[in-house]
């Protein structure tokens, strides 16, 4: 049987990076900590730490064990919080993971409503969507925002909601007026790995447009700046281009009817999802209000 105290001593030692720091935090002697760690290693039949002159370092087995204890003790904190036994005055965190594609294609104010959640401190990180979903299932994240709804097999046990549908616009500096087939302008394009690459390729082919490809990048904000400063054409999310358009640095040449660009939210189902649901409701309401308040940024040409 694994002793809970052994696990806790291990978790603290791994977090602190030294037996001395762990002993101070736990209020015990260093030999006590060392013996607890050795007892756990004997129980698991593995070596959890490399002992060095500078302290202790997790082995591969130690890193795996720490992943499990991190989930365990965070779950314990959540349990205390759910029964109201924690510090009621202390703000608690909401842990949000954002898929890299979403982070690169949304405006900076997309997540601002989370900052207004009462008694909550958003803890936001960007990463690979598959990895974020694993952390969501392991209870290391409360909410994940990604560019597409995962297949049904991966959604089991999770609740999903669509936050917003991305609107793309063709933008260029006021001084640039492309020819009918765009042969005389450079296009800042998306890389093949981007979710918008196919969207833009489909649009160009459908309208017989053949611009010169000036560069390929993933970041929509870079596309906006490159178009504004370099005299290029770019096809970007409307919300990302908004400030540059209002400032007169770019103008909308036309709208692009979206086919799949969306932002989805995923979170654990059940009673523990109440915080995530509240965050999702706030994000959806904000996205809708921005769409209404924004209105036409200028008199656009007919939608195509």
Contact by Cβ (8 Å): 90, 121: no
| pLDDT for res 152 | 75
Tell me, what CATH number does 77's domain have? 1.10.10.10
Q: Tell me, yes or no, whether 28 and 143 share the same domain.
A: no
Q: Tell me, yes or no, whether 161 and 266 share the same domain.
A: yes
Q: Tell me, yes or no, whether 184 and 159 share the same domain.
A: no
Is the pLDDT higher at 272 or at 286? 286
Q: Tell me, yes or no, whether 159 and 111 share the same domain.
A: yes
Q: Tell me, yes or no, whether 269 and 159 share the same domain.
A: yes
Domain that holds residue 111: 92-166+261-294
292 pLDDT more than 70: no
| pLDDT for res 74 | 76
- The whole-number average pLDDT for the span 237-245 is 87
Is the pLDDT higher at 233 or at 99? 233
Q: Tell me, yes or no, whether 288 and 139 share the same domain.
A: yes
Q: Tell me, yes or no, whether 9 and 71 share the same domain.
A: yes
What six digits make up the tokens of 81? Answer: 């919080």
265 pLDDT more than 70: yes
Name the DSSP class of 29.
Answer: -
Report yes or no on 145 lying in a domain.
yes
- The whole-number average pLDDT for the span 122-150 is 84
Q: Tell me, yes or no, whether 142 and 217 share the same domain.
A: no
Q: Tell me, yes or no, whether 138 and 185 share the same domain.
A: no
| pLDDT for res 82 | 61
| pLDDT for res 180 | 95
| pLDDT for res 1 | 64
Q: Tell me, yes or no, whether 178 and 243 share the same domain.
A: yes
Q: Tell me, yes or no, whether 156 and 17 share the same domain.
A: no
Q: What is the tens place of the pLDDT at every residue in 59-108?
A: 999 888 888 888 788 777 766 666 665 555 555 778 899 888 787 767 66
| pLDDT for res 285 | 87
200 pLDDT more than 70: yes
194 pLDDT more than 70: yes
DSSP symbols for 195-240: TTHHHHHHHHHHTT---EEEEEES-HHHHHHHHHHHT-EEEEEHHH
- The Cα–Cα gap between 290 and 53 comes to 57
Q: Tell me, yes or no, whether 197 and 246 share the same domain.
A: yes
Tell me, what CATH number does 148's domain have? 3.40.190.10
149 pLDDT more than 90: no
- The Cα–Cα gap between 197 and 158 comes to 29
């Amino acid at each position: 049987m694994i002793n809970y105290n052994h696990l806790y001593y291990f978790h603290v030692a791994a977090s602190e990076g030294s037996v001395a720091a762990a002993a101070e935090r736990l209020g015990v002697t260093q030999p006590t900590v060392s013996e607890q760690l050795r007892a756990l290693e004997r129980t698991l039949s593995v070596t959890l730490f490399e002992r060095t002159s500078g302290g202790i370092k997790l082995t591969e087995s130690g890193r795996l064990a720490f992943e499990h204890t991190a989930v365990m003790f965070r779950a314990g904190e959540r349990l205390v919080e759910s029964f109201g036994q924690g510090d009621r005055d202390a703000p608690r965190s909401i842990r949000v993971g954002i898929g890299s594609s979403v982070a690169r294609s949304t405006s900076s104010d997309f997540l601002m409503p989370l900052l207004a959640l009462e008694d909550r401190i958003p803890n936001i990180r960007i990463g690979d969507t598959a990895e974020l979903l694993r952390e969501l299932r392991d209870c290391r994240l409360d909410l994940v925002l990604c560019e597409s709804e995962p297949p049904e097999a991966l959604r089991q046990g999770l609740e999903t909601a669509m936050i917003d549908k991305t609107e793309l616009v063709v933008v260029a500096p006021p001084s640039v007026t492309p020819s009918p087939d765009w042969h005389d302008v450079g296009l800042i394009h998306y890389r093949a790995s981007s979710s918008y690459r196919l969207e833009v390729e489909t649009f160009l082919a459908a309208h017989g447009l053949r611009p010169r490809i000036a560069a390929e990048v993933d970041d929509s904000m870079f596309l906006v700046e490159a178009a504004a400063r370099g005299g290029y054409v770019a096809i970007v999310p409307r919300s990302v281009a908004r400030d540059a358009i209002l400032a007169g640095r770019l103008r909308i040449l036309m709208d692009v009817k979206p086919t799949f660009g969306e932002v989805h939210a995923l979170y654990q189902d059940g009673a523990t999802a109440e915080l995530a649901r509240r965050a999702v409701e706030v994000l959806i309401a904000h996205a809708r209000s921005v769409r209404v308040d924004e209105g036409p940024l200028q008199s656009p040409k007919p939608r195509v």
